[in-house]
């Protein structure tokens, strides 16, 4: 049995001082009518901080661009009403002893006509797409790119102003930034398409703009994934050398911590090593990393819970995770569904009450608890 107390050691990187190594992973909840986080959202996050989560990364929050949003009732990170709502969350999380960052998000071509706040706006992405004679995705011009870069920078500055402890830029899972990374969705012939370096330019410009807006001491986390919602077998990088070529420009642009999204943390990223994606990223960049992927739960496929199912994900041993943590494969551990269903998850792990941890089922998605 590995000692879970190692997850409750402090972590410090510059101005970021975390009381524990446990991170709440960003999970879209859709409980912010009009895009404004309310008292329920305040309680939802503060309860997890009070129970021992060192860093909360919020659900995806949309930046101030006409096509950033793709879903109803997700929170935004612009406008006085929404920012005041987030300031209430910050105050409560800090009072509970935790730290918090917003995940800054643009859904890109995932957006569909009819989506709030302006139903007439199509998705925006690297490439124009038509269906049945209608333009469903607007291929981004240079002016569009500049607008989105500026929107991320402004959101980061607003996060700093209201007392957030850093920002996470969402560059994963087939959303806008990742759409530029991925060769399958980016076949541009200008400076933003072609080679891996060119496909990464959009992300680099966003990171640089965020860094310029917040200064040198405000933490920037960057979340990326090899897999996509559209293709679980997709790989941006097939080898460690390719992964280094992908990551180094992002690191140089100003990323402090990489959040390495995988579906199952225990799966090796490349055949020649048992290291997972966070482990490889830590070695290749020299930057701290966050691992994530079915932590604390059995191998039930998390996407199965997006449909009407009676499947239940049962609590699972942390021994494999703790062995990797002890080997310094990664620095921080993000917990998703296990924390979504059980706000006391961290406290139960800390206190040896694993037998009290709640299983995860689709019912947990129906409310904030």
Token pair in block for residue 74:
């997700």
Q: Are the C-beta atoms of 170 and 210 separated by less than 8 Å? A: no
Q: Which residues have a Cβ under 8 Å from the Cβ of 37 and sit 6 or more positions away? A: 75, 82, 85, 86, 88, 89
Report the distance separating Cα 354 and Cα 67, nearest Å. 43
Report the distance separating Cα 264 and Cα 301, nearest Å. 9
Report the distance separating Cα 141 and Cα 93, nearest Å. 39
Place of tokens 């890109």: 108
Judge whether 192 counts as a catalytic residue: no
If one counts every other C-beta atom within 10 angstroms of the C-beta of residue 113, the result is 14
If one counts every other C-beta atom within 10 angstroms of the C-beta of residue 317, the result is 12
Report the distance separating Cα 41 and Cα 32, nearest Å. 8
Q: Are the C-beta atoms of 129 and 135 separated by less than 8 Å? A: yes
Q: Which of 45, 78, 124, 175 is catalytic?
A: 175
Residues noted as catalytic: 175
């Amino acid at each position: 049995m590995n000692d879970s107390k190692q997850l409750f050691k402090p972590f410090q990187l510059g101005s970021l001082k975390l009381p524990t190594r446990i991170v709440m992973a960003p999970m879209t909840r859709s409980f912010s009518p009009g895009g404004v986080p309310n008292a329920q959202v305040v309680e939802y996050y503060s309860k997890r901080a009070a129970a021992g989560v060192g860093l909360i990364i919020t659900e995806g929050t949309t930046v101030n661009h006409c096509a950033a949003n793709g879903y109803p009732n997700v929170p935004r990170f612009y406008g006085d009403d929404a920012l005041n709502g987030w300031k209430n969350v910050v105050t409560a999380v800090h009072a509970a002893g935790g730290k918090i960052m917003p995940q800054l998000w643009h859904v890109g071509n995932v957006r569909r006509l009819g989506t709030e706040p302006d139903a007439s706006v199509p998705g925006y992405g690297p490439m124009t797409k038509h269906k049945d004679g209608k333009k469903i995705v607007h291929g981004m011009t240079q002016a569009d790119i500049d607008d989105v870069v500026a929107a991320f920078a402004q959101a980061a500055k607003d996060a700093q102003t209201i007392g957030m402890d850093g920002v996470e830029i969402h560059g994963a899972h087939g959303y806008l930034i990742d759409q530029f990374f991925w060769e399958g969705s980016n076949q541009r012939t200008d400076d933003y398409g072609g080679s891996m370096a060119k496909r990464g330019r959009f992300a680099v410009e966003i990171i640089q703009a965020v860094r310029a807006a917040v200064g040198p001491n405000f933490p920037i986390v960057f979340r990326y994934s090899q897999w996509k919602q559209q293709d679980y077998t997709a790989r941006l990088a097939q080898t460690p050398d390719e992964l280094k070529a992908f990551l180094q420009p992002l690191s140089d642009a100003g990323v402090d911590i990489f959040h390495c999204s995988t579906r199952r943390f225990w799966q090796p990223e490349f055949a020649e090593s048992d290291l997972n994606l966070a482990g490889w990223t830590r070695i290749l960049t020299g930057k701290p990393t966050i691992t994530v992927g079915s932590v604390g739960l059995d191998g039930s496929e998390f996407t199965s819970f997006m449909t009407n199912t009676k499947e239940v994900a049962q609590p699972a041993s942390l021994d494999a995770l703790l062995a990797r943590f002890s080997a310094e494969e990664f620095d921080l551990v993000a917990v998703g569904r296990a924390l979504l269903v059980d706000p006391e998850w961290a406290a139960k792990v800390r206190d040896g009450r694993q037998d009290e941890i709640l299983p995860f089922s689709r019912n947990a998605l129906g409310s904030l608890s």
